[in-house]
Amino acid sequence: MNRIPQLLVIGILALAGCESDPYQGELVPCRCEVEACTSASCGYDLRLDAACAGQIDHAEVLIDGHLEESALTPGQDMFPCTRTEPGVASQIIVRGGDWVWGPLVERCMNPGETRLLVLQCVEAAAP
C-alpha cells in the first residue's frame, strides 16, 4: 500500500482547514465613535515606563470592552479613542509580552482632564 497518496490527502485536508477565516466575534466599537463624547469627558495618556524597553515590543489596550486600534509601544505616548464621562469609571486592561496590567479602574473626577497612566515593567515586592 502506498502511503504517499494518504499523506497527500491528509495534508490537503489540513491546509483546507487552515484557509477558512477565523471567527473572532464582534469587537466593541470606540464609545466616542458610536455616541458623542462631551468636551467634559476625560481622556487618557498611556505610557510604558523605560524599564519596559527590551521586555516588550508593544501592548494591547482594552478600555470598557473596546480594543483600541493603536498599540502602546515603549517610549511613545498613546492617546486612546475611548474617553470617560465625568463621574463614570472605566476599566482598563493592558497586555504586552508576559505583562498584564489591570483591570485598572479609572474614574473621571475632573471634567476635561487627561489622565496619565504610566505602566511599569517591574515585579511587585512581596508584603
pLDDT of residue 10: 40
Residue 58 has pLDDT above 70, yes or no: yes
Reported as a pLDDT band with limits 50, 70 and 90, residue 124 is: low
Stronger pLDDT, 70 or 12, i.e. the higher one: 70
Chain mean pLDDT for the chain: 81
List strand residue ranges (DSSP E) for 72-124, in order: 89-96, 99-107, 114-119
Kindly report the pTM of this predicted structure: 0.73
DSSP 82: -
Reported as a pLDDT band with limits 50, 70 and 90, residue 109 is: very high
Stronger pLDDT, 98 or 9, i.e. the higher one: 98
Residue 11 has pLDDT above 90, yes or no: no
The answer to whether the CB of 48 falls within 8 A of the CB of 73 is yes
pLDDT of residue 125: 62
> Which residues, in sequence order, are bridge partners of residue 15?
none
pLDDT of residue 14: 41
pLDDT of residue 126: 61
C-alpha cell at 99: 505583562
